[in-house]
Amino acid sequence: MKIFVIPATYNEKDNIEKFITVLEEEVFPRIKDHEMYILVADDYSPDGTGDIIKSLMKKYKNLDMNQGERKGLGAAYLRTMGEAIEKRGADVVIEIDADFQFDPHDIVKFVKKIDEGYDMVIQTRYSGGGSIPENWPLQRKMFSITANLFVRTVFTKFSIHDWTGGFRAIRKEVFLKVRPEMANFGGYIFQIAFLHKAVRDGYKIGEVPLHFSDRKLGSSKIASFSYIMDVLRFVIFTRLKEFERFIKFLIVGGTGFIIQLALQEGSYYTGVASFLAVLLHPLLTVLVHTSDTVAFANGVAAGIGAEGAILFNFTLNNLWTFHDRAHSNIFQTIKRGITFNLTSFGAVIVQFLAIWIGVLAFGPATTIFSFHIPTRDIILVPTIAFIVIPMNYLIYNKIIWKKKK
Ligand code: UDP
Ligand code: MG
């Protein structure tokens, strides 16, 4: 495989020569099975970093540089990784700071993980023996640890320990898949966002525990404090966005349920149900021999409520929850509405079965704190919460409003 190590530099004149020398003389000789290259991502460092690299390029033929206007670390990596993969045939790119806060010798461990079949390999300072500098002031340690704990918790992805680190190996496929969504993320957000999308897309992520040291030469350009708010905003916003459709679905469903009750009771007490019952009564006498129009009117009221809720749910989900997947053609929309009506019947059957089985098992009423509560009401709540809601959400996503190809 062609592996490109991509150190990012902005004013690293004190570090870059030694850094490249260590890679060329100490690290690359230990990697036997791959072709190793260096492509430095430099944002026209005004301190002359570029000139040092140019003179080293005479000595090392596998060394080159990609310079661009300074738009932040994320932009520099996207630009340079893009060139390595699209113009130079890289199979894997490895991003690393050029200031020796990471030990470049650890690249060997990253390559080994890639060989084991991982799609992306990240550092971890927070597990398996990894560490941050002992001498960091308490508040910096706290920031580093809590920021990562926060991201892990909000994303509920605890198996990944280090979301903000800047030492990673990325396979070409992962980069090409994630890049189109990365345009707006800089700083720490770039690292978090990239990893989040790779995780979301199901890529296999490996971790290498390592020690992060203090900078010895040159100065830090990333101001920790201004990023705290950005990290909070990004992580929370991203998570809410993922739940947005489901939250809308719940709002529509909950409102639909209230509408169902209102239509049922309203049509009964206004006499609309009885009026319809009288109209439909001849039909009834053909089907079953009964003259009980009151019972029949009750049934009609329930039917009006159920169908009203179905129409309401369909219309609102179509206009709001799934508006991005709606048909513009009216006939296709009506066809979809009919399918929706049919699948809605699935929920009726599920509730019917659950309550039937429940009453068979527990009897018609259950005593809780000396209250007699009909078993059907006790069963209805978990049935809706754990079966009907997930089932409907799945049906809406995979059948009714399935993603267009
Ligand atoms: N860097 C860069 N462009 C920037 C900021 C930083 O190329 O706009 C490089 C920098 O030269 C270093 C790495 O990114 O190699 C990490 O930056 P820094 O050490 O300033 O951040 P810190 O380690 O203090 O978070
Ligand atoms: Mg640094």
Work out the average pLDDT over 109-135: 96
pLDDT, tens digit, for every residue of 245-283?
Answer: 999 999 999 999 999 999 999 999 999 988 988 888 777
**pLDDT per residue over 171-192, tens digit each?**
999 999 999 999 888 777 899 9
The whole-number pLDDT of residue 393 equals 95
Q: How many CA atoms lie within 13 A of 211 on its CB side?
A: 8
Q: Identify which of 201-210, 283-292, 295-304 has the greatest average pLDDT.
A: 201-210
Q: Which residue has the higher pLDDT, 232 or 90?
A: 90
* pLDDT value of residue 231: 86
Q: Nearest bound ligand to CA 225?
A: 1
Q: Contact, 218 vs 9, CB < 8 A?
A: no
| Mean pLDDT across 313-333 | 96
The minimum-distance atom of ligand 1 relative to the CA of 70 is 8
Between 285 and 270, name the one with better pLDDT: 270
Of 6, 9, 10, which is best to mutate to test ligand 1, by the most ligand atoms within 8 angstroms of its C-beta? 10
The secondary structure element, H or E, covering residue 367 is strand 365-368
Q: At a CB cut-off of 8 Å and minimum separation 6, what does 263 contact?
A: 304, 305, 308, 309
Alpha carbon distance 208, 201 (integer Å)? 21
Pocket of ligand 1, candidates 11, 44, 73: which has the most ligand atoms within 8 Å of its Cβ, to mutate? Answer: 73
Q: What is the pTM of this model?
A: 0.77
Looking at every residue in the chain, the average pLDDT score rounds to: 92
